[in-house]
Amino acid sequence: MKNVVEIYDREAASYDQRYVKPIHIVEDRIIADMINARYTEGDHVFDIGCGTGHVITITDIPKEDYAGFDISPGMVEVARKKFPGHVFKIVDVRDIGWNLGSAPNLMLAVFGQANYLGLEYFVHALNRMPETKFLAVLYSGIDNPDCEYTKEYQTIYSPEEIRASFSTIGRSVSISGLSHPHHGISDPDELFKDQISKLEDLNESKYFIIRG
Ligand SMILES: C[S@@+](CC[C@H](N)C(=O)[O-])C[C@H]1O[C@@H](n2cnc3c(N)ncnc32)[C@H](O)[C@@H]1O
């Protein structure tokens, strides 16, 4: 993990600027709607691989209900500057025992976290929290300039492998395919409709959104 830490520490100051194109705004809107639909006021939310606190920016989760965890001190430093009232912890989430006094009600792993950790680990953690809702956004393995710079640290899973992995702990998941290649659409509302219409199609999508 040392190298992932080095990469994200280096990227931290400019990380937010990478993701400001219309397609990123549309991806965020789709993910935010799904997270908000899973969140209930008073839920205890764990955001693993929280980075610079992107989930806080895009969702309605208040600081009282939120805790962010990230292995990169640089990313957490940016998050703390942006959101001084929120709780963030610098930790390799694989070192969390998950024998927690009170489990989170909702676990978020947005943009690649399960690819870095390995799905097996992610599933193992969730197995300790059978009541915990979750939403994860995984890289699908399709060429994606947005995550190219950490490619060698990602493990890529097919939808079949994802389903099989969760079935080992008796949990069924819904998988959506986010962000198909698009051509010539510049209006974010049109782009949003276009992308929403393709969520069921897992082929050629840049990300898989897993909900359970
Ligand atoms: C692509 S960024 C996503 C950040 C944020 N969730 C977002 O949506 O912008 C992936 C984050 O996962 C963190 N990460 C990778 N492996 C980790 C681990 N084992 N424990 C904690 N954080 C980790 C990285 O430091 C990085 O901040």
Share of the chain above pLDDT 70, in %: 99
Q: Considering only the top CATH level, what class is 2-211?
A: alpha beta
Q: What is the pLDDT of residues 146-203, one digit of tens each?
A: 999 999 999 999 999 999 999 999 999 999 999 998 777 888 899 999 999 999 999 9
Q: What is the pLDDT of residues 36-65, one digit of tens each?
A: 999 999 999 999 999 999 999 999 999 999
Which of 8, 9, 134 has most ligand 1 atoms within 8 Å of its beta carbon, as the pocket-test mutant? 8
Banded model confidence at residue 21, pLDDT cuts 50, 70, 90: very high
Which of 29, 46, 70 has most ligand 1 atoms within 8 Å of its beta carbon, as the pocket-test mutant? 70
For residue 135, list its beta bridge partners.
Answer: 108, 211
Q: What is the pLDDT of residues 128-141, one digit of tens each?
A: 999 999 999 999 99
Q: What is the pTM of this model?
A: 0.96
Q: Which residues are near ligand 1 (CB < 6 Å)?
A: 1, 4, 8, 49-51, 54, 69-72, 75, 92-94, 110-113, 116-117
Cβ pair 186, 194 in contact under 8 A? no
